[in-house]
Amino acid sequence: MTGEFVGKGRGGKLLRLRLDWTGDQVDAVALRGDFFAHPEDGFEAAEAALAGIPVAALGATFGTELARHGVRVFGLEPGDLDDAAAAIMARAAGEGAP
Amino acid sequence: MTSFRFLETGHGTAAFNMGLDLAIVEAVAAGAVPPTLRFYCWKPCAVSIGYFQGVRDEVDLDACAARGIAVVRRVTGGGAVFHDDELTYSIAFPESHPLAAGSILASYKAICAGIVAGLGRLGIPAEFAPLNDVVAAGRKLSGNAQTRKRGCVLQHGTILLGVDVDQMFAVLRVPAEKMRGKLIEDVKARVSSCSAMLGRTVGYPEAVTAFREGFSAGLGVILVDGAPTEAELAAGRREAAERFGDTAWTNRR
């Protein structure tokens, strides 16, 4: 399934999160928005590492990967990914309800 | 007080403006040039988008094409900006400089002190508005974007001298979610300019004088007039051609 979230999280900047998932597993995540991060290639590596993990582990994994790549992020918090994914999945569950 | 090289490079294309900013921070990182403050403007007018933004999310590309407005992706994050009647600055210095001390938010505030001081010289009381704006009477006059490369800070930002909000929002797509929580939620009402605030036209030359003094006083630095080196200009042109003018770069998200 695929869903997109657009909104502001605790980090304060606009986040657009596109989530592709099967069951409770992430197939792919794309993060776009007004936030800041450096080094940028480290951010992109952390983003790529989100494929194949449980949806419930998005924020924790992203935080770990950012730290592993020495990335400083401003305007976005790892937990914002969990909130966005929860909103997407809640909407999907609502759309699937009778 | 620290000395910074001061460059006033006039108008440039979107791709060259971004290319020269990158060339300067690379030259500062290499120790080839001193810490640098640059003022410039844009011709033709342009939209710049943040490094992490999706170009089609933020920009009406057909409207830009019809109006001859260039679109460029920055190396810095942040939001989309319409560059027309404005003074743009960039500043590059080593992370060891006191302006970079503390948190990223603290460094935004420290650098934006130059903008606040410059606006004060024009007679506009203004303040830093976290995370990365400068506002006067609750209206945004300046947006700023920072990154760090090879041990150096690069921050650039816009200071609106005049603003055509209809043109601005004909080319920018601003989702309602972006304005949520702002004091003024109507995006058109939230933006203003130096000219609108003062009820008279503030031109680029007047702004250069005011903000040169403002950055010197607000940052506590001595500005020494200079010019880009031939190596910086060549690197800026190369980056303009190979990166910032390349649609693959612009469309990468």
Whole-angstrom distance, CA of residue B100 vs CA of residue B103: 8
Whole-angstrom distance, CA of residue B54 vs CA of residue A25: 25
Q: How far is CA B89 from the centre of its chain?
A: 5
Note the pLDDT of residue B181: 59
Q: What is the per-residue pLDDT across B33-53, written as a single tens digit (0 to 9) for each?
A: 999 999 999 999 999 999 999
Instruction: Kindly state whether B50 is in contact with chain A, defined as any CB-CB distance less than 8 angstroms.
Output: yes
Instruction: Kindly state whether B220 is in contact with chain A, defined as any CB-CB distance less than 8 angstroms.
Output: no
Note the pLDDT of residue B175: 79
Q: Is the pLDDT of residue B180 over 90?
A: no
Note the pLDDT of residue B206: 98
State the amino acid at position B155 in one-letter form: Q
Note the pLDDT of residue B233: 98
Which residue of chain A has the CA closest to B106? A74
Spell out where B13-151 has E strands: 36-42, 46-49, 70-73, 81-83, 86-94, 127-129, 133-136, 139-149
Can you tell me whether residue B149 is helix, strand or coil?
A: strand
- Nearest CA distance, B177 vs chain A (angstrom): 5
Note the pLDDT of residue B185: 59
Note the pLDDT of residue B216: 98
Q: Is the pLDDT of residue B229 over 70?
A: yes
For chain A, the residues whose C-beta falls within 8 A of a C-beta of chain B are: 6-8, 12-14, 16, 30-40, 43, 72, 74-75
Q: What percent of chain B has pLDDT over 90?
A: 90
Q: What is the per-residue pLDDT across B58-110, written as a single tens digit (0 to 9) for each?
A: 999 999 999 999 999 999 999 999 999 999 999 999 999 999 999 999 999 99
Task: Indicate yes or no: CB of B175 within 8 angstroms of CB of A40.
Answer: no
pTM score, two decimals?
Answer: 0.94
Which residue of chain B has the CA closest to A75? B131
CB nearest to B148's CB, from A31, A34, A38: A38
Task: Indicate yes or no: CB of A36 within 8 angstroms of CB of B145.
Answer: yes
- Give the Cα-Cα-Cα angle B135, B36, B153 (nearest 5 degrees): 70
ipTM greater than 0.85, yes or no? yes
Note the pLDDT of residue A80: 97
Note the pLDDT of residue B69: 96
